[in-house]
Structures are given as C-alpha cells and as structure tokens.
Amino acid sequence: MKSILSSLRCRADADAINAEHDRAEAIRVGMMMFNDADVPKRHFARPAILPGPWADKLKDLEGQIGKGCLLALLGKRGTGKTQMAVELMRKTCVQGRSARYTTAMRFFTAIKDSYKGDTTESAVLNQYLRPCLLVIDEAQERGETGWEDRLLGSLVDSRYGAMRDTVLVSNLARREFERAIGSSIMSRMAETGGIIECNWPSFRDTAKYGPDAAAAVRQTQEGGV
C-alpha cells in the first residue's frame, strides 16, 4: 500500500512539474509573439498598476477579447488608451494567439506602397487580416477620403466576418468619432463591443493622482496615448 501511495505521489509531482513547464513554455512562446507584434518601444514594458477606472476597464475588456469583438477606446491624451490596448495584446499573445499593432496612417501608407509593384493591395490587407487581435491606433489621423473609408471599411468588415478582435484607438470625442468612422463600422461595433470612453483625468495630472503615480506611467504614456 505504501509503495502504491508513494507511486501516486510521485506521479502527481511529475504531473505538476510538467504542467508548470507547459505554462512556462506557453508564456515564452507568447512573449516571442508579442515581441513580433510591432508594439511601440515606449509601451512595450508592462507598466505599474494604474489607479482606479483604468485597471477596472482593462479587466472588463479582457473578458471580451477572443470573441471577435470590435471596439474603440476614446479619450483625451494621457488617459492610457494605447497602453490599455497593448495590455490586451500582451494577454492575447500569452494565450497563444497572435496580435499586431499599427496606426491608421501606417496601414494606409503600406497600402500605397503596394502600388509601386513590389506587392499587391490584397497581400497587404491579408497581413492585417491574419492577427487574432489587431490594434489600430491614432484612428483620427486620416483624411477621411473615399479611398481611406473603403480600405478601412474592408479591413474591419473582413475581420468582423472572421470573428477576429479589432481595437481602434482615437483622441476624438464620441460624436466626432462616430461621424468620422461611418455608420457601417459603428453598426458592427455596437453589436460586438462598442465605444469605451476613457473619460478619467490624464495620468500626467499630478494634482489628481500624485507625483508617484504620474512618474510610474510617464514612460509608457507620452506620445499618442
């Protein structure tokens, strides 16, 4: 009996070691994917836990990722929108799914470059269709031309149909964003995620959060957050 119990304990210990090894390997592979996700260097490092509603909202959004959501993070500069989107990317990668960061302008520039003949518009679009999570930052930095509307609409619609998560980030107020993004995308967004208004004070406001909180996030929140 003792030998049986000892054998069972040894097997349980081995299973626990194997499970821990598997978890560590999954994290390692996930971080390799995160390294290749084009995350801006300023936002790459995990920040200190940000106070109040930022952390609460991030936790809520983590429950939506992986279900084909389409959502927008709106708010003034300094409220941590980009960092929140990057943290969603980090979680996605650690779970073994791919993610990619881009800006609206970078996307449109990549499409324009395809017209030079080295690749095709379709091939570039496919690069942005593949990731399980795509973050499009600075969504307001666009000319709102028919050409841009067609491309952005095609990308978002294709990702919506494939149930791949898409997060748009913008400094525009809600009404301005709704007008700029168009009724088609807004309709899909209302169905699968909606608009998240990051309407808390800027983390650069030391009078609100104190100098320690502002210093903790300054390195990850300057320049288009």
206-222, pLDDT tens digit by residue?
Answer: 555 554 444 444 443 34
CA gap 215, 68 in Å, rounded: 35
The most confident of the ranges 1-5, 32-36, 163-167, 188-192 is 163-167
Mean pLDDT of all residues in 52-79: 93
Would you mind telling me the total number of residues written for the chain in this entry?
225
Whether 72 and 169 have beta carbons less than 8 Å apart is answered as yes
Cβ atoms within 10 Å, residue 18: 10
CA gap 16, 102 in Å, rounded: 39
pLDDT at 204: 74
Of the pLDDT bands very low, low, confident and very high (cuts 50, 70, 90), residue 28 is low
CATH superfamily of domain region 36-221: P-loop containing nucleotide triphosphate hydrolases (3.40.50.300)
Mean pLDDT of all residues in 113-118: 89
DSSP string, 75-124: --TTS-HHHHHHHHHHHHHHTT--EEEEEHHHHHHHHHHHTTTTS-HHHH
- pTM exceeds cut of 0.75: yes
109 closest CA partner among 96, 94, 121, 91: 121
Q: Which position has the higher pLDDT, 140 or 189?
A: 189
pLDDT at 224: 40
Per the structure block, which two tokens stand in for 2?
């003792």
Mean pLDDT of all residues in 20-26: 58
Of the pLDDT bands very low, low, confident and very high (cuts 50, 70, 90), residue 58 is very high
Nearby residues of 139 by Cβ (< 8 Å), 6 or more positions away: 72, 104, 168, 169, 170, 172, 177, 180, 181
Rounded to 10 degrees, the C-alpha dihedral 222/127/125/65 comes to: -60
159-206, pLDDT tens digit by residue?
Answer: 999 999 999 999 999 999 999 888 889 999 999 999 999 998 888 775
